[in-house]
Structure 1
Amino acid sequence: MRNLIFISLLCCMVLSCQEAPVTKIYNGEAKSAILDNMLTRRAIRKYTPQTVSNAQIDTLMKYAIYAPSSLNKQPWQIRVVKNEQWLTELNNRFLAYAEGKTFQGSAAHYKEPGFSIFHDAPVFIVIARDKNNPVSSLDCGIILQNILLAAHATGLGTCPLGTVVPVMNRPENRDLLEALNIPEDYDVAINVALGYSAENPPVKQRYADKIKIIE
């Protein structure tokens, strides 16, 4: 499929998030709900086959775009991909790129049959950054966190995906981004796997000694 012109998949899915009011989707006292959400979110690497509806995605994106950004530039482009053809092609290109290389984490298993760089999640979110904005990577990190926390609050699992980023930004793979109508002056900052969790991972160790209070 290299050099193939993909059918545009997402431009026809117009989300209503830009003008929609934000409503509470949690029960109970607000502070506890927010803090518990931060403490219980986990990176999910096993997903059920259950689909995520466009209405659910619309709700998630309403919360995502309220992320702060420097000077309110909002230097991101978000694409929510559900198309199996595009996802299969992305996985194939990662496998071609990975051949002979060594990775850490789940990507280290790329030689295993049925490997999926996005953990077979039904939804793949692309967060692209404005290359002309010097702080766009930081702003994309903020909207990433909004997506992770909002997904968890609405009953969905997520996993940030960084290993595939350099593959998507290679010049020979530009057609993947063109298929998603991502402008030429943007490249991929980070991706997110999204779906219904099929696991409940334990919390990993956090290092409080990395934080110092200077008085």
Structure 2
Amino acid sequence: MRKVIVLSLLTLSFLGCKEPKKEQIIYDGSTKDAIIDNILNRRAIRKFTSKQVSKEQLDTIMKAAIYAPSALNKQSLEIRVIQNQAIIEEINKRFLVFAQGKEFQGSAANYREANFSISHHAPTFIVIASEKASPYAKIDTGLTLQNILLSAHALGLGTCPLGTIVPIMNRPENADLLQLLNIPEGYEVAINIALGYPDENPEAPTRYTDKVKVIK
């Protein structure tokens, strides 16, 4: 891995001294290409193997998560990583109870099928909860979510954001579930993520380039 180090030196005239040298790391060459490649090739995975994610992998992903920027650096998110299969199964049961007689879009529409899993049978289930009072919660959640998705992909893992289950987990009758996960008062589930080893390699859906306009 090749690194280009940019040194900056500031003079503080009113103090008559200089700040210590600061190093800004800028990645170059194949590493830079790898970052872009990682972004362009990540896909939502809805079929996982049973192999569990390791502690070392989780440590890396969670470090990437907490290094996501947040408004005013408030860091007003709580993250829970669930590998306890009984809890994951309970979350699925809560969804199935709510879903009866209802219609959903996407993969959740298949909830009537035997052996259905709202988290696609992924061995790890991540919950991101955000502070209700924060006006920036949605932005902070999105930034953290993307760091998790990209860092997991870089480690050869698969992820799928799970939005359908979010409002169900926040319903009053499921408050005990949030207590079990030690979600603090004043926080609500913002997004969930299925995480594990991918057992599929889906094609990229069409991207609409006309959504981008350059104004000069």
TM tier, shorter chain? 0.7 to 0.9
Residue 74 of structure 1 and its aligned partner are, at CA, apart by 1.0
Q: 1:213, CA displacement in angstroms?
A: 1.2
- Could you give the per-residue CA deviations for residues 37-96 of structure 1, whole angstroms, max 9, x where no partner exists? 001100000000111112211111111111001100111000000111111111011001
> Does structure 1 residue 118 correspond to structure 2 residue 119?
yes
For 1:79 and 1:72, the matched residues in 2 are separated by: 20
CA deviation digits over 1:177-214, x for unaligned, max 9?
Answer: 11111101100000000000000000100001111112
Match of 2:18 in 1: none
Contact in 2 for aligned 1:75/1:130 (Cα 8 Å): yes
Secondary structure of 2:50's counterpart equals coil
SS at structure 2 position matched to 1:45: coil
Q: Flag the structure with larger Rg.
A: 2
C-alpha separation in 2, matches of 1:29 and 1:66 = 23
Q: Take 2:214 and 2:54, find their aligned partners in 1: how far apart are those partners?
A: 45
CA distance in 1, matches of 2:93, 2:47: 20
Distance (whole Å) between structure 2 residues aligned to residue 71 and residue 30 of structure 1 = 30
Correspondence 1:32 to 2:25? no
Q: Which has the higher contact order (CA 8 A, sep 6+)?
A: 1
Q: Which segments of 5 or more consecutive residues in structure 1 lack a partner in the other structure?
A: 1-25
Give, as a single letter, the amino acid of the residue that structure 2 aligns with 1:111. Answer: R
Specify the alignment match of 1:213 in structure 2. Answer: 214
Which piece of structure 1 moves more, 51-60 or 73-82? 51-60
In structure 2, C-alpha distance between the alignment counterparts of 1:207 and 1:74, rounded to whole Å: 33
Which residue of 2 is the match for residue 157 of structure 1?
Answer: 158
Q: Is 2:58 aligned against 1:94?
A: no
Amino acid at match of 1:83: N
| Partner Cα distance (2:31, 2:161) in 1 | 26
Superposed CA RMSD in Å reads 1.6
The amino acid of 2:72's aligned partner reads L
Number of positions where the alignment pairs a residue of Structure 1 with one of Structure 2:
191
The Cα shift of 1:140 comes to: 0.6
Larger proportion of strand: 2
Which shows bigger deviation, 56-65 or 154-163? Answer: 56-65
Measure the CA separation in 1 of the matches of 2:214 and 2:30: 29
Which residue is 1:23 aligned to?
none
* CA offsets 1:101-129 (integer angstroms, 9 cap, x no match): 11010000000000000000000000000
Tell me the alpha carbon deviations over residues 135-189 of structure 1, each in whole angstroms, 9 at most, x when there is no partner.
1111011000000000000111000000000110001101111111110110000
2:143 maps to what in 1?
A: 142
Residue in 1 aligned with 2:170? 169
Amino acid at match of 1:79: R
- Within the alignment, does 1:195 sit opposite 2:203 as a pair? no
- In the alignment, the residues of structure 1 paired with residue 155 and residue 54 of structure 2 have an alpha-carbon distance, to the nearest angstrom, of 12
Shift of 1:29: 2.1
The percent identity for this pair of structures is 63
SS of corresponding position for 1:194? strand
Distance 2:185 2:86 in 1: 22
CA distance in 2 between counterparts of 1:135 and 1:63 reads 20
Q: After the TM superposition, which parts of structure 1 deviate over 3 Å for at least 4 consecutive aligned residues?
A: none
Match of 1:50 in 2: 51
Name the SS for the 2:192 alignment partner.
strand
